[in-house]
A = this chain, B = another copy of it.
Amino acid sequence: MPSKRVTLADVAQLAGLSTTAASMILNGRPDTRLSQAAHDRVNAAAQALGYRPNVAARGLRTAKTLTIGFISDLVATTRFASGLIKGALEAAESAGHVVLVLETGGDPEREAEAIAAVLDRQVDGIIFATMRARELFVPTIPSATSVVMLNATNARFPRSVLPDEESGGRTAVDLLVAAGHRDGIALIGQNDDVERDLFRSATVARRVAGIRGAMAHHGLEFLAEESIWLWEPDEGYTATSELLRRHPEVTALLCMNDRLAFGAYQALADAGLSVPGDVSVVSFDNDELAAYLRPGLTTIGLPHEAMGRRAVELLLSGDDADQTLVPMPTVSRSSIAAPRGT
């Protein structure tokens, strides 16, 4: 086992040339006047020794480390983040980069420390990912360092990648309307009269805007709107049960996320109603859950991986497109049908 790493000096020595020559040849510098023979000898030597440059050493000189810092508030807690990371990892890999992943839990102190930690390691750029768009406290970052906000925004860093919630919202409504639903649609999870929340923030606001825009465009109004603070199955169950009591004529449920829809499924089953025969359901996120439900839940997916990929591409490309909106895919399963009696 070769316990010592092969260095450029080793390559140069084997090729009978200086490290300068070896460096220039291996980096393919164009204007050099080194002979073809020199090129051949160096390449052969590098090949023979299995030479790989020490990135840290190179970075010291070039200030390029082929490394990206990915700082997020939550990694595993939500299913959201891992998709972002996966996408980022893929894009980074195809660009020959590598990703330093840090988690801060949203704590400003840990955030500051995380930024310092990646800066200490000379990363080429930083991606800040959050679960909810918010003004992230970001300590002074050398202006040379490029930054992309992922599923987040920040006044100082205009480059950001977000899901195209508005058209996602429109699509959900369009799906129901196309199936023939008009006056029997209920919204589960949102009621503008009641809610003014910061927590759900920018992206959810856009989702709602898309939904309302599409309803208005079709000249429709919701049969009912159930405000729900916490978008979890239990809450979806309760709200839907309540809704069914008050509005048995409902024909379709537009749920703000899949977990609410899961609760709605249970409430519908308890009420002896079938999906989609009696009631159609559509929701958002494309949680793992959505595929497990019977019948499969049609949902407007959050394009996590695509967003992660896009963020890295943006970071490395260096062009400064302000906001990138990534389209939300429609995942069609079997939870939408024409309303009864049509």
In the bound complex, what is the Cα–Cα distance between A266 and B318 (angstroms)?
51
A residues 46-86 near B (Cβ < 8 Å) are 52-57, 59-60, 65, 67, 75-77, 79, 81-83, 85-86
Residues A57 and B60 in contact, CB atoms below 8 Å apart: yes
Residues A117 and B98 in contact, CB atoms below 8 Å apart: yes
Q: How far is the CB of A242 from chain B (nearest CB, A)?
A: 16
- Does A341 belong to the interface (CB within 8 Å)? no
- The segment from A138-146, A222-230, A278-286, A330-338 that touches chain B is A138-146
Q: How far is the CB of A220 from chain B (nearest CB, A)?
A: 31
- Does A120 belong to the interface (CB within 8 Å)? yes
Contacts of A90 in B (CB 8 A): 103
Q: How far is the CB of A67 from chain B (nearest CB, A)?
A: 7
Residues B52 and A60 in contact, CB atoms below 8 Å apart: no
In the bound complex, what is the Cα–Cα distance between A294 and B102 (angstroms)?
35
Contacts of A82 in B (CB 8 A): 75-76, 79, 81-82, 85
Residues B86 and A116 in contact, CB atoms below 8 Å apart: no
Contacts of A155 in B (CB 8 A): none
Contacts of A294 in B (CB 8 A): 233, 237, 266
Residue from the list B5, B56, B60, B75 in contact with A89, Cβ < 8 A: B75
- Residues 1-39 of A, flagged 1 when their CB comes within 8 A of B and 0 if not, give 111110000000000000000000000000000000000
Residue from the list B101, B102, B140, B233 in contact with A292, Cβ < 8 A: B233
- Does A194 belong to the interface (CB within 8 Å)? no
In the bound complex, what is the Cα–Cα distance between A289 and B79 (angstroms)?
12
In the bound complex, what is the Cα–Cα distance between A266 and B269 (angstroms)?
11
Closest 7 CB pairs of A and B: A76-B86, A76-B82, A82-B82, A56-B56, A233-B292, A101-B101, A55-B120
Q: A79-B82, A99-B102, A101-B101 are in contact. List 11 more A-B contacts (CB 8 A).
A: A52-B116, A56-B59, A75-B86, A75-B89, A79-B288, A82-B82, A85-B101, A86-B103, A89-B101, A93-B110, A259-B292
A-B pairs with beta carbons under 8 Å apart, 21 shown: A1-B143, A2-B140, A54-B122, A55-B122, A56-B56, A56-B57, A56-B121, A76-B82, A76-B304, A79-B82, A89-B102, A93-B103, A98-B100, A98-B117, A99-B102, A100-B101, A232-B292, A233-B292, A233-B294, A237-B294, A269-B269
